[in-house]
Structure 1
Amino acid sequence: MHGATTTEITRARDIIAGFDFGYVVDRAVAAGMTRATSEIALQQLKTFLLACAEHPDRDIVPQSAACDDLWHEFIVADTRAYFRFCEAVYGEYLHHNGVTVPADRMAAARTDSARLFATADCLREAKSADCLREAKAADCLREAKAADCLREAKAADCLREAKAADCLREAKAADCLREAKAADCLREAKAADCLREARSQDA
């Protein structure tokens, strides 16, 4: 076996993610596995199958007895389907050979597999934490933008109010000017009347 390339791992991940394990789970449940246990075992099986693709040079052991049982059901439920799956994912048949492996090798494989899956779990948790931080950062950014928009809206309101106040003052000033001109005209008219009366009396 050769080391898996990034392309091979990506292809394996896509095949595993898209494979319908429903008939495998149904068979396991019919054999006595609870539905809740089968759901957990299925997630473990997918992780296990991908790990086998990622590390073809290592002996990898399923994470739990339920996962191992589900793997066995996967093999015997439809041997042709399992063979095609293995050819597509690994390029060869993935043997369920726990019985034939020497005890010391199996013990080492269990220890190595436990570390491998623990590392994978930590990586997933770290990615989840990163996603959470990114989501919070995005929320903060949206809130900051919303605050900016609110400030801009308030500034625009203030500007409109200031302009309205200016217009009102200008209108009042214009009214005052018109009133002043009207008063001037009235005074001038009265002065003209007085002048005419004075001239009439002189005549």
Structure 2
Amino acid sequence: MEIRVFPLGPLETNCYVVINEKKALVIDPGGDPAPVLGYLERGGIELDRILNTHLHFDHIYGNQPLAEASGKLIYASPDDLILMDTEVGRGGLMGFPTVTPFETEDITEGEMELIGLECKIYSTPGHTPGSLTFHFPALKSAFVGDLIFRRSIGRTDFPYGNTEQLMQSVKEKIFTLPAETELLSGHGPATSVGDEMNHNPFFSGVQI
């Protein structure tokens, strides 16, 4: 089992590759997927599917190119499809490029096996209405997108963002995970559940 990170795209979004037994998941390909494809090819690793934590432009630039190159499907929450009618979803915001259109398969809260690993999928709205967290207990890791960062939280001033929802998502879905769980965010360094419970200023003094 292995996790690799590739900062991709204009905002250096963390694209994660989860590998188990020569099969891989790609989470949030935010730019040209060539480095990811090259890594998989060199290792003789088969891509299983593409997962999106949410559908903001900087997390999905590489969706269609990666799907075309690999023939694999893209999975995202149907609750985020509304974002594709906004600049923060389809691109064009602040002069950033537009996103190549792509089709998605629905994925929602629940449990499923992915590349031989148990994955617990949590609905964690706030940054976006359909934001998802992918928790892999065997990896002691959760991929949280832009829900929470080291010592910070995701923005809620974009269309369909909601601060109250975000805070509730973190408290009810993230801070109930084991303290040692690594939190792998869409930008910046990794952190952990326990570290953020104790040191994230947005939750200082908040009853959890």
Structure having the larger proportion of residues in helix: 1
Higher alpha-carbon Rg: 1
Specify the TM-score bucket, using the shorter chain as the normaliser.
under 0.3
Q: Which has the higher contact order (CA 8 A, sep 6+)?
A: 1
Q: Normalising to structure 1: TM-score of the pair?
A: 0.25
Structure having the larger proportion of residues in strand: 2
